[in-house]
Amino acid sequence: MGRVNGKIALVTGAGSGIGRGAALALAAEGATVVATDVDVAGNDETVALITKAGGKAVGMVHDVTRETRWAEVVAEIKASQKGLHILVNNAGIGIAADIFTMEFKDWQRQMSINVDGVFFGVKHGIPLMAASGGGSVINISSVAGLKGAAGLSGYCASKGAVRLFTKAVAMECAQANMNVRVNSVHPGIIDTAIWNKIPQNGMGSLNLPMMQDGANAIDANVLGAGVPLGYAGLPSDIAAGIVFLASEESRYMTGTELVIDGGMTAS
């Protein structure tokens, strides 16, 4: 029997990277996964991979910055799945820019996806979780939510907000006896497509080696060589932590952060 057998799990940003890894891992452990993303093709592929492996999954188009869409998604889950037990607020973007030249529209977009999306997920998802008997919320932050990095000020601000928001919501749920735990996960250098979208000069004080000869994008494996363990992590490494937090193995954990970073924040 799987570690989350019979549970209903909503995973945002499930079309690739950590979101796909989480969806696959939760399904493999017995959950019915509701995979959502604005990337329809990627999300459909995630659902197909789960189904091919013998798991259960459905996909939904979902812009996490729209509160009305959040209400619709949760209502659809209530109607079709009759409950919700696991919420993985994973959808996010990274925009690298010096804070003195960063355009406000980029600041707003990043905050809208990375912070507002988590807020809407908690606001609309937790009441259904409580009505379903309780469960676990896992908000995906970052090592950038624990330490600063020049060139990533806006990203650090968004991920730091997720960390403390998680703690406060955990206290509110505990105070209200909702039987809903809320924790954050803080990945380090993980080999996903997000690095293709961040210029190499946006990593600043993370003090990791850059690409050679003026390459205009970061290679996760090059960066991974600079972390204490010497290599980049995989989405499955983060997914393992997500499954742990989703399961009863972490029943006494709420309001805390699970750091999976190869030792980046150890010093």
Q: Cα angle at 94 between 167 and 9, to 5 degrees?
A: 50
Residues 166/140, Cβ–Cβ less than 8 Å: no
The span from the CA of 220 to the CA of 196, in Å, is 9
Task: Identify whether 155 is a catalytic site residue.
Answer: yes
Number of Cβ within 10 Å of residue 27's Cβ equals: 26
Active-site residue identified among 7, 50, 60, 155 = 155
CB–CB of 52/44 below 8 Å? no
Residues contacting 108, CB < 8 A, separation 6+: none
Written in H, E and C, the secondary structure of 159-170 is HHHHHHHHHHHH
Spell out a b/e string for 184-223, using b for 16 or more CB atoms within 10 Å of the CB, else e. bbbbbbbbbebbeebebebbbebebeeeeeeeeebbbebb
- The catalytic residues are 155
